[in-house]
Amino acid sequence: MEQTFAKIEELADHVKDYANTKIASVKLEAAAKSSKLASNFFAGLIVACIFLFFLVFASIAAAYALSAWIGKMYAGFLIVSGVYFLAGIIIWSGREKFLRIPIMNAMIRQLFKRDEEDEQD
C-alpha cells in the first residue's frame, strides 16, 4: 500500500513539474511572439517616418515644379494639397478595407505563427 502512495506522490510530482514546465514554455512563447510583434511595429514605424520625410520633400519639389510651370507660386501648392485632400478622402472612406483589416490580419498571423515557421525566419 505504501508503494502505491509513493508512486502516486511521484506521479503528482511529475504532473506538477510538467505543469510548471508547460507554464514556463507558454510564457517564453508569449514573450517571443510579443517581442517579435513589437519589433515589427517599431521597424514599420521607422520606415513610415522615413517615407514621410520622402513624401514631404517630394511634395515640396512637386509644388515648386508646378508653380514654375503655371507661373503662380500658390497654385502649385494648392494643386498638391488638393491631391493630398483627395487621397485622404479615399483612404478615410476605405479605411476598413485598406488599413484596419490588413493590420489586424498581420498581427493575428504574427501571433499565431507555428514554431516551425518562426525557426525559418
With vertex at residue 78, the alpha carbon angle to CA 75 and CA 81, rounded to the nearest 5 degrees, is 150
List C-alpha distances in Å: 106 to 33, 39, 119. Answer: 13, 13, 18
pTM of the entire predicted model: 0.61
C-alpha span between 62 and 60 (Å, rounded): 5
Q: Which residues of 69-84 are buried (b: 16+ CB within 10 A; e: fewer)?
A: eeeeeeebbbebeeee
Q: How do residues 1-40 score in pLDDT, each as one tens digit?
A: 778 888 888 888 999 999 999 999 988 888 888 888 888 8
Residue 10 dihedral angles phi and psi, to the nearest 5°: -65, -40
